[in-house]
Every structure is written in structure tokens, then in C-alpha cells.
Chains A and B, each alone.
Chain A
């Protein structure tokens, strides 16, 4: 395999969890709900997926459990922000704090007695990349096909989410709820139900992103396995201007930074490892600066107008 193809392979693999979670968060934010719980939900998704596969040896069951956990956490966020009308930032941060702590706690309790009840350092089934004979050796294209099924699912999800958002009726409803809930309501669209629905759907995709980490990208459980990916996702949503089709570029960029950094570390460069590890986060800050600047220049702000606000019909 040539260098470019191998870097691209790792890029896509690293980008999968980011893309899944980014699309999830885009759908959530499009309904007007800002979910800052991404990091926490990804961690719980990663943990629950690994714990399930360790005991049940079923990848499918692991994915289902992770999705259920994601749905549950997102449901909590939707309940707090929509029904209770709590501040969305506070609720999201609480979910991340809770998710981080609880995942770490369970990681030290759910393991087998032989491992001191810890999940760290254990091995289990993983989602293995496919290697379709005949295709995998073609340069560039090989990188696209030499991926696991969750990545294939992501390939499908990007155009589907885009089509859904811009070309279908429910997509139109979703956008209207995030842009202008008063108007959506007057059009007969159930704002509360829409917000619940897409916050939960978003949570499911975010948790799947987490599950991809512990089942495929870095199989196993380790403390803070996400390494702040949840926060990068928040930035990627802005980078993609809330458009699923653009989410792919952000995810590839950050997956690419990861891949290049791995390559450099593996090749024994004398750039300090800590500096290389820092690169994705520096990239995040740069992207935010550039995007904000660019948005100010282009005069059109892409954020859903009602993002972060609660809605009540007879509010005076």
C-alpha cells in the first residue's frame, strides 16, 4: 500500500466517529437544541458498547446498547431543555460532566474479577475492516473500501441526511423548528415533539460515534478514550455550517490531522509527541477563528436562528 492510500485509510477510520457524531449534532442543533453533552454521550457509548461486546460477544448487541444509552442521555437533555426549559448550555455541560465521570466509574467496576473489575486493558471482538479482494489494492479507492461496516454506514448517512434535511417535508419541518419555532408552530408543526425526536436521534448517532472508537478505531476501553472528540464535534458542526454534506470535509480534515500525526510519530520524528497530540485541538481553534471571520465576511450566518432558545407557545 502506498503512503497516500495508507494515510487516507487511517484518515477515514479516524473520521468515522467524528462524522457520525457531527451528523447527529447537526440534526439536533437544526431543531434549535444545542447539545453540549456530545463528549459525555460518546464516552458512555464507547463504554457501553465495549462492556456489552466483552460479555455477550455480539457486535450487533453492543451497537444496540450504545444506541439505547445515547438515546437515553439525549432524552434526558431534551426533557430538561424542552419540557423543563432549562438552559441548554448548562444541561449539556452537566451531561458531559456526568457522562465523563460515570463512564470512568463504570470502567473500573464492570470488568471481570480477574482484571480487578476493571475494563481497561481487556480485549474483545471488534468490527473488522472489510478487505474486498480486487478493490483493496487500487490506490486511493482502496482506502475507501478497506473500512468497517460502520464506516460504510456513514458513507450512506451523509447523502441521506443531506437529502432528508433539504429535500423532504420532515426535513423542512426540522429546519423551520430550529430557525423560527413560532412560525413552525403556526404552520401546525409540533415544535416540542420535533425537538425531542431529533435530539434523541442525534444522541443515538453520537453514541454510535463513541461505539466506533471502542469497537474499531482503538478497540478496547481506556479512560477518556474520546480524547476530547466530543468537543471537536461541536466545532465541526460550525465548520460544516450545519450542512451534513459539508460535515465530511471537517471530519476528513481532523481525521487527516490524526493520521498524519500517527505517521509522524511512527516514523520516529524528533517533534515532541505532546506537540503532535496537540495538533487536532489547535486545528479546532484555527477552524473556529477562520469560520467566524469568514462568516462575518460573507454576511450570512449559518446557525439555526433559534439555536439555544426554549419555546413556549403562549409566552408573552
Chain B
């Protein structure tokens, strides 16, 4: 029989439910040898769940998996490994405190009780040279950049001779240049007859990486087609089930006074290493200042210094003209600074408390929600109902614990609370990360609305298109330094990508 007719992977009728959600509903998937399949869908469409089933992390409630035409019983990641299936997860499966070499050995079945460290090292270096995936085998994972960590993940799969590679949103953390390198690696692997499944929600990547594309929506396959026969616009419509707005209408900007000013500010990260180096920024009222950069280049530290959660080691922070350097978070909140934190689940909201309590969390100290030391529950409930309506937060009741809401609705809850508290500056750190198109739109619109109301918005995002769309000016952060600040209008993506990778535009031009 022709090799092309027996699929490398065939998943038939896969269903999987989590409490309250049907993540996969009778999904069929076929992958051939030497083929790259893009799996497209919104957050929560069930892409990752389906792939977690294929790599043995979850077990399906129903359905069968065939590898090379044979029924495969995949009970655990180890079974999947033996069948040549390997997955690069969105959260890398690397042990931070261990070295690259130790992480490679960790997943190997072939080594004996005492592994042959030198042999593994030699083979690793060999693969690293062959696929142009440069790594230092003795570096600890925590010392590596996100891009390097991804290389280690891919090397891990290559080392195990994985035939089927699953990549879960691999470019989300990469610079445009690194993405292109990844695309080269994927194509090199395909040329050797390996197959790959590529999870994404970015249209451009579907065209760049894949031969065929499958679209999932709410756990079901809604389309499957050859990449050549489709267009990004058609895919986008299929993905969300309606036409999406790629543009946000913005009033021309009317910048006012400087509301936030950082003057030669430096700060350390959690490990005590310099994270911000001599940062100078000024944010005007009625302006969105977008901060571009690959995650981990000081964004978190910058947001924390501005909101009083982290001490600056030198420099001055002024909010609405007042020196607020190293003021407490409460003092800064009182200056009217609101914060949508990066980690919404643990810093932004208290999962075990109700939606109403979470909404009240910044205003409970004073009227109208409190009288002296007493909270006024009825007022809190009224306020909560009002905000739940206004922001269309999908919750069974104001008393539902926040941890039971979806990511998008948790974010809307935080947004509603922070917008209620903001008077001068809104600091929004990756506010649309992990949200579906609908919720993303709400978030972006609200940020622009705050700017139109004359507030300053400090907006962090990893998505360049989003940054260009929402911001008035863009600052690029690389290794804790501001590389450049320029107007968003007419800015060149390629140029920003270079700055994000640490190259100043002048060298490349």
C-alpha cells in the first residue's frame, strides 16, 4: 500500500469533558507522514486538550487513536513516547533547577541505571549542530531565555527520535526572527519525513508553517482544508464563527500633561539581578504607551515598580507630578493608579472569594461600600450587579467564587474593578493574554476608552499587532533597557522585531 494512504496518526471520535465543559466533542484528526498540520482555534476551543490526549497526558472519555494504522492504547506520556509522539507544551516541561543535559536524560528510556552522560552529551551536540539549535548542555534551565528553552524542548524530542511533533503555540514567546528560525527547523524535520501538528491562533503562522489546516470551535471540527486553498480571513471567520473586527476606532489623540514619569529608574528581579537598567519614560494623560518586548525583558519589573510592588534601586518615579519613588502600593493606589497584573489568577483576583468581593476589593475602605470599619454588603452587591451587567461578566451570580469563572471573565472582573479605581494611570500587563477574540476586544476597547477619558495607559503586550492597534506610542524593552520610543502610527513591525531582539534599528538598516 502507498505510504500516503496509511495515516501516521488517526484519531477517531475523540471526546473529553471536564467538569462543566465539553472540551472535545467527537473529534476526528488525520496526520500523514511528512506533513505539517495546523490546528487552529480560539482559546478554549479544545486544541490543547486534543493534543494532551494524543501525548498521553489526558485520557479521552471516548474515541480511538491509530498510529501507522494500528490501534494504540495510550495510557500515559510514556506510552506516547514509545510510539514516537512528542509534544512541546506551552508551559515548557523543563525542570528549572536542572541542567540542559539532565533534562534531556530525564525523559529517556534508553539509558541504564547510571546514564552514560558523555554519550548523551555527544549525541545532543550532534543534533544541536545538525538542526542549528544552539544550546549549552551544562547551563541550568532558569539561566536560559525562553527561546533557548524552546530549543531544549525540541532537542529533547529529536533526541528521542520522535516521529510526530506537537507544538503548542510555539511562537507565542518568540521574536519574529526566532519564529522564522523555528519555521526553518520545522521544515527541516518535515523534509526528513517527520510529521508535525502545530497549535496556533495566529493566521499568518498557518500559512507560514502548515500544509493542511484544521479548525476547531467549541470542541468540534468546523473545517479541514489544504492551506493553499484558504485565506486568513476565511480561517478567522471559521474560527470565531463570525466576522471579527481587526480594527478599533480611535479618536485622534489629545495628549495632556505628564501623569507618569520614570527618571533613570533601575530595579532588580527576584533573583537579585538587574532587571531594569536606567529606564526613562514619560506617559501623558490621554495617551496609550505600549511596551513591546519578548516576555522576561523587564516588563513585569517595570509594572511592579510603577505600582509600588517592587523597589527601585535608583532613579525617580513621579505620578501626576508627585515623587512616588518606592511608595507603598496603597499610596500609589491613592494616587489613582490602577493595575491589571500579568498573573490574573494569583495577583489580580482572589479565586476563593466571590465576584462581588473581588469587585469591591479596591473600594472597600471607604464610602459608599463601607461605613467606618463595617462593610455594607447590600451596597457591595448593588455595585457588583451593576458592574457585572456593564462588563458582561458571565457568572451564575455575584456570589460565585471567581476561580469558577473562565479566564476571560476573570479578566473582565479585574478590568471592571480597576477601571472603577483609576484616576490617573492604568497599568495593563498582558491584559488580553489567553483570552478569546470576544474578550480581547472588550479589553482593548476599554483601554482605548480610558485614554479617551484623559487617563494615561501603560500597556504591555506580546502581540505586536495589538500593540500597534491600541497604542499611541511604543517603547521597546530589551534586557531591561528602553531601546527606543516612537509613534505607533507608521511604525514598522520588522523594525520593532529587531529592537525586541536587541539590535538597534540603525545597524540593520
Residues of chain A touching chain B, judged by Cβ–Cβ distance below 8 Å, are: 167-170, 172-173, 175-176, 179-180, 182-189, 299, 305, 313-314, 316
Contact = CB atoms under 8 A, between A and B. Distances in A.
B95 A179 contact: yes
Interface string B322-356: 00000000000000000000000000000000000
Contacts of A186: 55, 57, 77, 87, 89, 93
B57 A185 contact: yes
B230 interface: no
A314 B271 CA distance: 31
Most buried by B among A169, A184, A188: A188
Interface stretch (B7-15, B105-113, B431-439): B105-113
B390 interface: no
Contacts of B113: 168-170
A184 B56 CA distance: 13
12 contacts: A168-B113, A175-B98, A176-B98, A179-B96, A179-B97, A183-B93, A186-B57, A186-B89, A187-B107, A188-B56, A188-B81, A313-B58
Name the interface size band of chain B.
20 to 34
Contacts of B272: 299
B95 A183 contact: yes
Top 9 A-B residue pairs of the complex, sorted by shortest distance between their CB atoms: A188-B78, A187-B107, A183-B93, A186-B93, A188-B77, A299-B272, A180-B95, A179-B95, A176-B95
B284 to A, nearest CB: 38
A232 to B, nearest CB: 26
A118 to B, nearest CB: 48
Nearest to B59: A314
Contacts of A180: 94-96
Contacts of B97: 179, 305
Interface string B154-178: 0000000000000000000000000
Contact of B93 (A168, A169, A172, A182): A182
B69 interface: no
Nearest to A177: B95
Contacts of B95: 175-176, 179-180, 183-184
Contacts of A313: 57-58
B111 to A, nearest CB: 6
B76 interface: yes
B114 interface: yes
B112 A188 contact: no
Contacts of B78: 188
Nearest to B78: A188
A243 B215 CA distance: 50
A297 to B, nearest CB: 9
A253 to B, nearest CB: 26
Nearest to A166: B102
B256 interface: no
A314 B93 contact: no
B18 interface: yes
B296 to A, nearest CB: 17
Interface in B1-60: 18, 55-58
Contacts of B81: 188
A188 B56 CA distance: 9
Contact of A169 (B56, B87, B91, B115): B115
Contacts of A173: 106
B106 A172 contact: yes
A314 B58 contact: yes
A175 B141 CA distance: 14
A145 B281 CA distance: 69
Given A168-B113, A316-B18, A187 B106 contact: yes
Given A169-B112, A299-B271, A314-B18, A188 B96 contact: no
Contacts of B93: 182-183, 186-187
Chain A CB within 10 Å, residue with most, of B93, B94, B95 = B95
Contacts of B56: 188
Contacts of B96: 179-180, 305
Interface in B100-149: 102, 105-109, 111-115
A50 B16 CA distance: 56
B80 to A, nearest CB: 8
Contacts of B105: 169, 172
Contacts of A175: 95, 98
Given A167-B114, A179-B98, A299-B271, A187 B77 contact: yes
Contacts of A316: 18
Contact of A172 (B58, B102, B109, B273): B102
Nearest to A163: B114
A57 B97 CA distance: 48
A299 B89 CA distance: 28
A181 to B, nearest CB: 10
A169 B77 contact: no
Contacts of A185: 57, 77
Contacts of B55: 186
A183 B57 CA distance: 11
